[in-house]
Amino acid sequence: MKQNRRDFLTKAALTSAMAAAPLVNFGKGYTEAIDRTPKSSAPSDLKITDIKCGYIRNGGSLFVKVYTNQDIVGHGEGVDAVAGTYHLVKRMGNYIKGQNPLNVHRLFESIRKAGFFQGAQSGMYVAVLTAVETALWDIAGKALGLPVYQLLGGKFRDSVRVYMDTALYQSRLPQPEDFAKAAREAVDMGFTAVKFDLDQANDPNKYDRFNWTASPAELQRMYDQMAACREEVGPNIDICADMHGRYDAITGEKAAKMLEPLNLMWLEEPIAAENSDAYKKITESTSTPICAGENHYLAHGFRPLLENGAVDIIMPDLQKAGGLGEAQRIANLANLYYVPFAPHMVASYLGAMASAHVCASVPNFMIMEWQIYFHRDKMFQEIVTFEGEAVENGFIRVRDVPGIGVEINEEGMRKYAPEGIPFFE
């Protein structure tokens, strides 16, 4: 192409101007293009690279982080049956390193079957697996840009109703007026349902600490405490009572019958978890709804309760029953029997929100547990990070961000970690 003298001078001037530009502009377009380009490879290329964990509550609460080759990290939590499980966490991590975390069900089943002779039917093995499985869902949501409830098939509701566990522990020998005061406090905070404990090992009216047949005076004490609560909050607030599986069947029957006039939402675990036939006998003897399940594991553990009509309401603990996918299976199994799903929840806000994603995803959700310690204990505000309000007027709004929407704050946790256990190492 021909170029005249004017074109030449114009281009020369432009070249001189470019040469005089600050050095910081050199390659700017290239760096901007890099910034616009996603750094992660395709989800199909995701691989698990490591798993680390930390504990609080003297080792009774487990937090895990699952790491990937794309710097996406998943967070999960396990409770109760997790003390002393550091090496079990690491062992499960070795099972799944190098694998794609998006295959959540496959990895869950691989770990479960690998522990067939190591206790994978219940207890510690399943509680730890629960934390790992939850972290995998968190990774999957972040990698795909979706909240966990969407991965579980979508949501039936935007918010999850919760009841306030008042933590008015019977070890302190509370009086009926203490029950009334705690119930009023919860209602004033916006909750429409409250729960109280009725089991009291140090009740001065107990005949024998090891024989959990309640005396008439113990039963009267239970009634008086719950009656004070009902009188304080009126007929339109739901009230639950928990016996923590510490009584025998005859006491369970008597307590359930005695409490009928108070119209409880439920009587929780009057007897231990193992005998569904004994539960059925109590359930059939009363109009007080009977609730159980926090000490059952996997969908297998709930099958006898549902097939036998042993309980009116199930309450799996989603931080130890097998994970979020298993929780949905449990809820769907219960739905076949028209049994409500009301998860037990004694974890941090990470566990609460993970549970809320499941509660949003099933049709038969009733209500979920919430703890007063979220409001009173600074530790529970420091060990996790999230945006917005935790709870409003007795409801948790299910988060619409990718993954679970709540993450572990290692620095906040560190000062509560027990000594002698590796901390995210």
* Per-residue pLDDT band at 389 (split at 50, 70, 90): very high
Q: Do residues 268 and 292 make contact, with C-beta atoms less than 8 angstroms apart? A: yes
Q: Do residues 293 and 314 make contact, with C-beta atoms less than 8 angstroms apart? A: yes
Please give the structure tokens belonging to residue 76: 């999960």
Please give the structure tokens belonging to residue 74: 């998943």
Cβ neighbors of 327 (< 8 A, separation 6 or more) are 316, 318, 321, 343, 355, 358
At residue 26, the pLDDT reads 43
* Per-residue pLDDT band at 209 (split at 50, 70, 90): confident
Same fold, 43-145 and 150-401: no
At residue 41, the pLDDT reads 58
In DSSP notation, 168-232 reads --GGG---HHHHHHHHHHHHHTT-SEEEEE---TT-TT-S-TT--PPPHHHHHHHHHHHHHHHHH
Burial of 127 (0-12, 13-18, 19+ CB in 10 A): buried
Segments making up each domain of the chain, as ranges: 43-145, 150-401
Residue 230: closest CA among 268, 176, 267, 270: 176
At residue 3, the pLDDT reads 46
**3-class SS at 131?**
helix
Residue 180, sorted as left (phi over 0), alpha (psi -120 to 50) or beta, turns out to be: alpha
Q: Is the pLDDT of residue 15 over 80?
A: no
Q: Do residues 317 and 345 make contact, with C-beta atoms less than 8 angstroms apart? A: yes
The single residue listed with the structure tokens 């990895």 is 107
At residue 172, the pLDDT reads 80
Architecture of domain 43-145: 2-Layer Sandwich (3.30)
Q: Report which of residues 173 and 316 the model is more confident about.
A: 316
Burial of 8 (0-12, 13-18, 19+ CB in 10 A): exposed
At residue 32, the pLDDT reads 59
Superfamily assignment of 150-401 in CATH?
A: Enolase-like C-terminal domain (3.20.20.120)
Query: For the chain, what percent of residues have pLDDT higher than 90?
Result: 84
**3-class SS at 337?**
coil
Q: How far apart are CA 210 and CA 202, in angstroms?
A: 11
At residue 170, the pLDDT reads 72
Q: How far apart are CA 226 and CA 239, in angstroms?
A: 8
Q: How far apart are CA 329 and CA 320, in angstroms?
A: 14
pLDDT mean across residues, the chain: 91
Q: Is the pLDDT of residue 14 over 50?
A: no
Q: How far apart are CA 152 and CA 403, in angstroms?
A: 11
CA 168 to chain centre: 22
Is the model's pTM score more than 0.85?
yes
Burial of 176 (0-12, 13-18, 19+ CB in 10 A): middle
Please give the structure tokens belonging to residue 258: 């005695």
Residue 267: closest CA among 234, 334, 313, 229: 313
Q: How far apart are CA 73 and CA 140, in angstroms?
A: 10
Q: How far apart are CA 40 and CA 72, in angstroms?
A: 9
